[in-house]
């Protein structure tokens, strides 16, 4: 991890819905952040606080209402497949292609030459431990294996930046643990810059070099916590005193924000129910 800045986020704000509409939601408010090259940064916060929105904006999938994002001195205006790769929470593997075909498709979209694709695909599948399942279809794999395949596809694109939006969110606890450890091992071998959105405190502390804690809506970065522990992180780290201390710190930062977010969503649900009971729209 260097001090060089990979992604520069300045004053990003975003909202959904029209001003004055009851559905108007201010997702992000004036967020600024410098992401260092080679670090793994976790974004953590209560539901609806805008962390996934920020990730989409970072990756050029969305245009912010205000503010800028720079990646390596270039302003982000749209997807940058050469620099940024995504791993989504939903399974985005194409169900009609095999695992290795999925990986090769990604490279074809990016523009990798045909001869290169086979080689890189095999390498990345080995790196995530799926070499044996290259010819399987996503439907034949478990959730954890599907996310490994999605990761392999992202890795094969050989981008400098990897954005992961709650990639293990749909998986059970045990699979998450295993995947988290494997991810840590993988990352120690590369020098990618990774931004990782998660809900799980333990996951954030275990994986991240820094954790950015978000406030409830409208989301903004409340505090950034450093986790000073070299990669690859050992499983023993989880039971260490340092881990517990940082985790507790995160918990106390988040607790109030989570409560706030829950009452916000209850209020908006009540508002929506009132509106719909008042009469259906044409």
Partner 1 sequence: MSERADRDRGRWASRAVQALFLIVLISLWTFATTLGHVSPILLPNPLAVLNELIDVLKSGEYIGDLRVTLTELAFAFAISVISGTIVGYLISRSPYAIKVLEPLLAGAYSVPVILFLPLYVLFFGLGPPSKIALGATISFFPIALNTIAGFGYIDKIFIVSARSMGASNYQLFRFVLLPAAFPVILTGLRMGFTVALLAILGSETIASLAGLGHRIVHLAESMDMARMFAYITFAVAIAAFLNAAVSSLEAKGKR
Q: Which residues of this protein are in contact with partner 1, per CB under 8 A?
A: 59-61, 79, 81-82, 84-86, 88, 90-92, 94, 96-97, 105-106, 108-111, 157
Complex with partner 1: residue 51 or 210, whichever CB lies closer? 51
Report the largest interatomic distance among the alpha carbons of the chain, rounded to a whole angstrom: 62
Q: Shortest Cβ distance from residue 16 to partner 1 (Å)?
A: 16
**Residue with smaller CB distance to partner 1, 30 or 135:** 135
In whole angstroms, how close is the CB of 119 to partner 1 at the nearest point? 18
Could you give the CA distance from residue 42 to residue 194 in angstroms, rounded to a whole number?
Answer: 8
Q: How far is the CB of 165 from partner 1 (least distance, A)?
A: 11
For partner 1, the closer CB: 120 or 210: 120
CA 30 – CA 49 distance, rounded (Å)? 13
Q: Which is nearer to partner 1, 34 or 101 (CB)?
A: 101
> What is the dihedral sign for C-alpha 127, 132, 135, 138?
negative
**Whole-number Å distance between alpha carbons of 113 and 93:** 21
Which secondary structure element, helix H or strand E, spans residue 58, and what is its range? helix 51-58
* Peptide bond just before 33 cis, omega within 30 deg: no
Least distance to partner 1, CB of residue 196, Å: 16
**Residue 219: HSE in the Cβ half-sphere, 13 Å Cα cutoff:** 27
C-alpha pair distances (Å), 164 with each of 27, 92, 195? 19, 12, 6
CB of 106 to partner 1, least distance (A): 5
**Minimum CB distance to partner 1, residue 80 (Å):** 9
Please say which residue, 161 or 186, places its beta carbon nearer to partner 1.
161
Encode burial over 81-110: b for 16+ CB neighbours within 10 A, e otherwise: bebbbbbbbebbbeeeebbbbbbbbbbeee
Q: How far is CA 153 from CA 22, 107, 119, 178, 207, in A?
A: 40, 8, 13, 19, 20
Structure tokens at 75: 């302003």
Indicate the residue among 136 and 260 with the shorter CB distance to partner 1: 136
Q: How far is the CB of 76 from partner 1 (least distance, A)?
A: 12
> What is the distance between the alpha carbons of residues 244 and 250, in angstroms, rounded to a whole number?
10
Q: Which is nearer to partner 1, 130 or 154 (CB)?
A: 154
């Amino acid at each position: 991890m260097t001090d060089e800045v990979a992604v520069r986020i300045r004053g990003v704000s975003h909202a959904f819905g029209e001003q004055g509409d009851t559905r108007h939601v201010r997702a992000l408010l004036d967020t600024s952040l410098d992401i260092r090259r080679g670090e793994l940064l976790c974004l953590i916060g209560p539901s609806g606080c805008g962390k996934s929105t920020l990730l989409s904006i970072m990756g050029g999938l969305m245009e912010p209402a205000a503010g800028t994002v720079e990646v390596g001195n270039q302003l982000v205006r749209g997807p940058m497949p050469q620099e940024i790769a995504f791993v989504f929470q939903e399974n985005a593997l194409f169900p009609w292609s095999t695992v290795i075909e999925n990986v090769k498709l990604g490279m074809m979209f990016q523009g990798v030459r045909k001869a290169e694709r086979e080689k890189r695909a095999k390498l990345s599948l080995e790196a995530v431990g799926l070499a044996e399942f290259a010819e399987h279809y996503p439907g034949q794999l478990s959730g954890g294996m599907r996310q490994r395949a999605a990761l392999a596809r992202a890795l094969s694109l050989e981008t400098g930046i990897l954005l992961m939006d709650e990639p293990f969110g749909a998986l059970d606890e045990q699979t998450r643990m295993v995947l988290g450890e494997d991810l840590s091992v993988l990352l120690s071998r590369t020098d990618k810059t990774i931004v990782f959105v998660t809900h799980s405190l333990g996951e954030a502390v275990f994986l991240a070099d820094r954790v950015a804690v978000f406030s409830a809506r409208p989301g903004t970065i409340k505090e950034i916590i450093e986790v000073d522990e070299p990669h690859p992180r050992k499983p023993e780290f989880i039971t260490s005193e340092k881990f517990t201390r940082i985790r507790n710190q995160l918990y106390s930062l988040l607790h109030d924000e989570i409560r706030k977010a829950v009452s916000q969503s209850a209020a908006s649900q009540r508002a929506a129910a009132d509106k719909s009971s008042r009469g259906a729209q044409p």
